[in-house]
Amino acid sequence: NNNTDSPVILDRSARGMTRGTVGSGSTTTSIVTSSIDPASTVATQFGNSTYKRVVIFDKDTTTANLRGQAVAISASTTGGVLTVSALTDSPVSGDTFVIV
């Protein structure tokens, strides 16, 4: 459609997403991250009682029952622990996700 703004808009959207990998010790309501980019540097950076971002597990993540599952983040810590609505299964170390 000759819209030259589309690649720029897509790139900006992608840069607003956060990639993460689950660490050990996660539960159905608490996701412990082993890596998160950008790093969690401020408490409530990814969610609080006023605004909620969403975790979406990758379609090829390790835990099959979490593939494509999305859940709201209600709190986060500077250490990268995400408090979420109940997932169907606890994530395991190595599961991957995006935060939007």
Q: How many CB atoms lie within 10 A of CB 16?
A: 9
| pTM to 2 decimal places | 0.84
- pLDDT tens column, 22-71: 999 999 999 999 999 888 877 888 877 777 899 999 999 999 999 999 99
Q: Let me know the angle formed at the C-alpha of 70 by 66 and 71, rounded to the nearest 5 degrees.
A: 110
